[in-house]
Amino acid sequence: MKPFNLLFSIDDGCVNQFKVTLYSIVQNSRQKSFNVYVLQKGKLESHDNITSFCQQLGITYCPVVIGEEAFEDAPTTDRYPETIYYRLLAHDYLPQNLDRILYVDADILCINDISELYNLDLTDKLYAAASHTSDSNIPELVNKLRLRNFEAESYFNSGVLLMNLEAIRKEVSRKDILDYIAQNSLRLLLPDQDVLNALYGHRTKQIPDQIYNYDARYNALYFTRSSGKWDLDWVIEHTVFLHFCGRDKPWKKSYRGRYSALYKHYQHQVMKIEKNNQ
């Protein structure tokens, strides 16, 4: 069986969170062979630590160093650092023999098997992603007006993104992305996510957020949307990715969210691995 390809984009400040996310994926997946690609501007100071951790998990760490000069021609500001381009243009830096890869944010916890998502039939779609919009049509309409992407099914969250690399290499253009950002910078609220939706939302396959990108802030909303079906037991049994969106994060001592103990359990397991490896 071919290894699953995972993609992250991190700096040295979120290595611990990345390891919790990665451990949870490996621990809960039937697939045990993974190649883990990590986009980074320069070689991470934690390179040896990450390499050792991946060896402990029996998986392969593949650093992808973008370089200092890769985006000198790109429009950047405090709101638009060059790191926003890494995920959008990952295909330019990944090995050409990869046909697909699953991007995951480092503030995500995996609690069930990713195989069904990873093997999803994308047909002619470039990406698969979930929407975090509520049942109201108002925010959906606002986003369509703001980004002028009326053909897109929804406004997609880019925290979990299955990439059809073969198709992306043919259709996703560096020039188109840079030009769009330069021409629409005042309209963009979440730069890379907005660009993804504006340019490629109509080529993105929608997947259910309650399974693949569950926003941990909105337990009550999910419960209401499902008429009480998506309770805690349902989430534990069915949800694949819990996404800790927003500023309140489960690795902070002040976090009091519903899934705090669950996250801390995985965090503790990672710490044990690290301790045993010293």
Pick from 220, 273, 269: nearest CA to 111: 269
Strand arrangement, sheet containing 4-9 = 60-65, 34-40, 4-9, 100-104, 156-164, 127-131, 204-207
Secondary structure E strands in the chain: 4-9, 34-40, 60-65, 100-104, 108-110, 127-131, 156-164, 204-207, 214-215, 241-243
Beta bridge partners of 101: 163
Neighbours of 29 (CB within 10 A): 18
Q: Picking from 49-53, 84-88, 189-193, 255-259, which range would have the lowest pLDDT averaged per residue?
A: 189-193
Give the C-alpha separation, 76 to 172, whole Å.
Answer: 20
Give the C-alpha separation, 229 to 139, whole Å.
Answer: 25
69 burial (CB, 10 Å; 0-12 / 13-18 / 19+) is exposed
The per-residue pLDDT of the chain, averaged, comes to 88
Asked: is 4-276 a CATH 3.90.550.10 domain? The reply is yes
Residue 183: enclosing H or E segment and its boundaries? helix 174-184
Which pLDDT belongs to residue 76?
Answer: 60
pLDDT tens figures, 152-183: 456 899 999 999 999 999 999 999 988 888 88
Domain ranges of the chain: 4-276
Residue 247 tokens, joined: 């500023």
Which pLDDT belongs to residue 186?
Answer: 66
Query: Is residue 197 pLDDT above 80, yes or no?
Result: yes
On the CB side of 85, CA atoms within 13 Å amount to 27
Pick from 277, 268, 217: nearest CA to 242: 217
- Counting runs of H as helices and runs of E as strands, what totals does the chain give? 12, 10
70 burial (CB, 10 Å; 0-12 / 13-18 / 19+) is middle
Q: pTM for the complete prediction?
A: 0.90
Give the C-alpha separation, 44 to 64, whole Å.
Answer: 10
pLDDT tens figures, 209-236: 999 999 999 999 999 999 999 999 999 9
Among 79-88, 119-128, 268-277, the range of highest mean pLDDT: 119-128
Cα angle at 85 between 59 and 158, to 5 degrees? Answer: 65
